[in-house]
Amino acid sequence: MNRRGFFDIFLGGGIAALGAAVLYPLVRFVIPPEQPEATVSQVVAAKVGELAPNSGKIFRFGKDPAILVMTPNGQYRAFTAICTHLDCTVQYSSEMQQIWCACHNGHYDLNGNNISGPPPAPLAAYSVSVRGDQILVSKA
């Protein structure tokens, strides 16, 4: 190998290494590695005494919103807060004593059943338990 051939290989290798050093972080940024979603089976939704009768609270169940309701007679109920129509977040309406979706006026009763408006299915129910001063919600 002559001197020119050596420098051609040397420069070509350097340019290739520089290109890889620039492109690799860009590709990793644009296409991030898959990370498994942690599955959540139980969360603390509220503290005892936080909700008054006939009220509700939105909380996070993993990455999704959920709703904890204290019925007018003091029972706790919990459901996914994702409307079964087009995935808006529902809320509790103390005036109607129902779970209500403001997006298209969908109504659910306090058992999560769709009772009027466009929602095609009931809300998925969670089980509620009280441990100490914490209200725990878990997948039923």
The binding site for ligand FES (CB under 6 A) comprises 83, 85-86, 88, 101, 103-104, 106, 117-119
Q: How far is the CB of 91 from ligand FES (least distance, A)?
A: 11
User: Helix H segments across the chain?
Assistant: 3-30
CB of 64 to ligand FES, least distance (A): 15
Q: How many CB atoms lie within 10 A of CB 62?
A: 13
Cβ closer to ligand FES: 76 or 92?
92
Rounded Cα distance, 128 and 65, in Å: 16
Instruction: Considering the complex, state which of residue 100 and residue 126 has its C-beta at the smaller distance from ligand FES.
Output: 100
Supply the minimum distance, in Å, between the C-beta of residue 70 and ligand FES: 22
**Which two tokens mark 53?**
């009768």
Residues 6+ apart with CB under 8 A from 89: 58, 65, 81, 82, 83
Q: How far is the CB of 137 from ligand FES (least distance, A)?
A: 21
- As a whole number of Å, the end-to-end CA separation of the chain is 74
Which CB sits closer to ligand FES, 108 or 126?
A: 108
Q: 103 or 125: whose CB is closer to ligand FES?
A: 103
Q: Can you say whether the dihedral through the CA atoms of 102, 108, 113, 117 is positive or negative? A: negative
